[in-house]
Amino acid sequence: MFDFQRKDQFDFGTISTHDDRDIEIQKLKVESRQGIYFESLRLVRDIILIIAVFILFGVFVAQPVVVEGTSMLPQLHDGERLLVNKLVYYKIQSVSWGHLTRGDIVVFWYPKEPDKSYVKRIIGLPGETVEVRNGRIYIDGNELNETYLDSEHNQSLPSFAPKKVEEHHYFVMGDNRDNSSDSRYWGLVPEKYIYGKAFFRYWKPQDAGFLEHGEYNLPENHKLNDIRADSE
């Protein structure tokens, strides 16, 4: 009564990978393992590259330092973390951060014990004469205004004989003049001992930000000639 048998059907044959390589059936477990393996290699490669970039950045551009002591109060406090620009060490004059000026907070090897490093502020530049009279600073006979100082940490008001700053040297002082071991007592800092200029405080978070450089009433007559940091 009913004819369920279809007529005129053709046998298309079996599907072969030789007909089209794109339809080749792969072993999914093997492919998955290979994919994870190659992705892992790429991840390791990227991590190594990132580490290398950070190492180069730390060696040639900037590095963190820790402030120890109170000689830079009220600007810097014991235990704070700073970023130090190391371009000054390479004397890159064409870059604004590549040379030193008055008011820069610098990190340097302590001349009396080069295995220690200090952080202080540059006060006297090469060729200038620095004198301290009753706690006030005079550069070549002109009084230097220092708005960043706090009277609470500058009450002793001592006097020191004039000191000529030699070429390739700097006269440095702490902002806490009552409790700072600096150029008033042990002399000038050789240019080659200065390895960085502090520019940013990143710890503690509530005080994070760029450091105060200071605006002075004296013209800049001299330029640069061509890590833990104690604050004792």
Positions annotated as catalytic residues are 71, 120
- Quick check: 60 and 224 in contact, CB under 8 A? no
Instruction: Evaluate whether 105 touches 214 at the Cβ level (below 8 Å).
Output: no
**129-133 vs 81-85, strand pairing mode:** unpaired
Cβ–Cβ under 8 Å, residues 197 and 229: no
